[in-house]
Amino acid sequence: MQAATRVSTDGDARRVTVRRVVALLGALALVSALTSLLGPGYLWPLFLFPLVLGAVFFFELGSLAVTVWLGNFFVLYYSFADAPSQETVRQALLGTALFFACGLLLGRVQRRSRNTQQELAASTLTDRLTGLYNYGTFVDYLHNEVTKTDRYGGELCLLMLDLDHFKQFNDRYGHEAGNELLRRIGETLRTLVRTADLPARYGGEEFAVLIRGDETHGYELAERLRRAVEEVTVEVRGEPACTTLSAGIATYPAAAADEADLIESADAALYESKRRGRNRVTIFTGVAGEKDLPASLSA
C-alpha cells in the first residue's frame, strides 16, 4: 500500500525531524544548565521533561538518549565536585536506572499510540475489503492533483475500471466468492501500479486509477491491468471462477475542464468499452467542454 506519504513529502518529514532534534537538545541543555548552577540535589528530576519529549518524538530511542545524557551529566558533575559519598553515587545510579526504565515504558506506550493512530487514519482513507483507497480519498486526491496541474502544468490520466458481469458472478458463485475476487483484484492493482499512482475502489465493482501522464501511459497501464485480471481466479466448490475487466481512459486538461468533467469523460469511455463487447480499453477522444465527440475504441 502507498504509504501515507501522500500527506507529507520526504522533505517535510526531514524538517519535522530536525525541529524535534533541536527541541530535545534545547530542553536537555536548559535542564542541564539549571541543575549545574543550582546543584543536582532535588533538581535532577527536571530531566523528566526532556525524557517525555524524547519518548514522544523518538520513542524508545529518544528515551535511551536522554538517559545516557543524564548518566553522563552525573559523571561530569561529580568529577568536578568534591569526592562524592557512596550514598550520592548510589542515588545517581538509582536515578539513572529509574529514568531508563520509565523512558523505555514511555517510549513503548507512545509507539503503540502512534501505531494505533496510524491504523485509525488508514481505515478512514482505505477500503476495508480491497485495501485500496476509498472513494472519499480518491475525490480529494483528484481535486488536489487537478489544482497542481492547473498551477504547474503537466497532464493527468484517469482510468475507470469495471468488472464485467459481476452481478452474474455473485448470483452464480455467491457473494463471499465475489468479495474474495474483489480482494484479489485489489491486490493485483496495488502490485501493478507505480508508487506515485493512486488506485481506488470507486464503488461496488468499479475501480479508478489516477496517474501522471498522457493517454499512452494510461492505455499501457489499463492493458496490463486488463490482462492481469483475466488471470485472477477464485476456487468455488473446486471450480475456478474468474471475470474480465472493461476500462475507460480520459486525460486532463485535454479531455476535461475540471475533475468532474474528467470522471464523466472516463465514464463515457468505459461505457463505450461495455457497449462494444466488454474486456477492452477505450480512450475518450473528445476535448474539454465538447461531449458530443465519440470515444474511440483502442483495444
> Are residues 293 and 151 part of one domain?
yes
User: What distance in Å separates the CA atoms of residue 67 and residue 107, rounded to the nearest whole number?
Assistant: 12
- Give Cα separations from 46 to 27, 35, 41, 166, 298 (angstroms): 10, 8, 11, 65, 70
> Are residues 147 and 22 part of one domain?
no
> Are residues 147 and 26 part of one domain?
no
User: What distance in Å separates the CA atoms of residue 57 and residue 272, rounded to the nearest whole number?
Assistant: 53
User: What distance in Å separates the CA atoms of residue 105 and residue 138, rounded to the nearest whole number?
Assistant: 39
Beta bridge partners of 158: 210, 250
Q: Is residue 146 part of a domain?
A: yes
Q: Is residue 130 part of a domain?
A: no
Q: 98, 125, 152 — which closes off a domain?
A: 125
Entry pTM: 0.63
Q: Is residue 15 part of a domain?
A: yes
Q: Which range of residues forms the domain containing residue 264?
A: 135-297
CATH of the domain at 163: 3.30.70.270
> Are residues 150 and 286 part of one domain?
yes
Angle of CA points 207, 209, 212, to nearest 5°: 170
> Are residues 53 and 156 part of one domain?
no
> Are residues 101 and 144 part of one domain?
no
Structural domain total, the chain: 2
Any residues with CB less than 8 A from the CB of 33 and at least 6 apart, and which? none
Q: Is residue 58 part of a domain?
A: yes
Q: 189: closest CA among 253, 258, 132?
A: 132
Residue 218 confidence (pLDDT): 95
Residue 101 confidence (pLDDT): 78
Q: Is residue 118 part of a domain?
A: yes
User: What distance in Å separates the CA atoms of residue 229 and residue 188, rounded to the nearest whole number?
Assistant: 7
DSSP letter, residue 143? H
Q: Is residue 258 part of a domain?
A: yes
> Are residues 203 and 59 part of one domain?
no
Q: Is residue 202 part of a domain?
A: yes
User: What distance in Å separates the CA atoms of residue 284 and residue 106, rounded to the nearest whole number?
Assistant: 56
User: What distance in Å separates the CA atoms of residue 127 and residue 123, rounded to the nearest whole number?
Assistant: 7
> Are residues 257 and 200 part of one domain?
yes
Beta bridge partners of 207: 161, 201
Catalytic residues: 205
Residue 174 confidence (pLDDT): 94
Convert 174-209 to b/e letters by CB count within 10 Å (16 or more is b).
eeebbebbbebbbebbeebbeeebbbbbbeebbbbb
Q: 91, 125, 159 — which closes off a domain?
A: 125
> Are residues 120 and 243 part of one domain?
no
Q: 80, 107, 125 — which closes off a domain?
A: 125
User: What distance in Å separates the CA atoms of residue 155 and residue 115, rounded to the nearest whole number?
Assistant: 36
Q: 158: closest CA among 229, 228, 218?
A: 218
> Are residues 159 and 53 part of one domain?
no
Specify whether the backbone of 132 is left (phi greater than 0), alpha (psi in -120 to 50) or beta: beta
Residue 192 confidence (pLDDT): 95
> Are residues 120 and 141 part of one domain?
no
> Are residues 271 and 143 part of one domain?
yes
What's the grid cell of residue 113? 499510540
If DSSP codes are grouped into helix, strand and coil, which group holds residue 171? helix
Instruction: Establish how many alpha carbons lie within 13 A of residue 163's alpha carbon, considering only the half-sphere containing its beta carbon.
Output: 28
- Per-block average pLDDT, block size 10, for the chain (299 residues)? 42 81 89 81 77 83 82 72 64 72 77 72 78 92 94 95 96 94 95 93 95 94 96 91 96 93 96 95 76 45
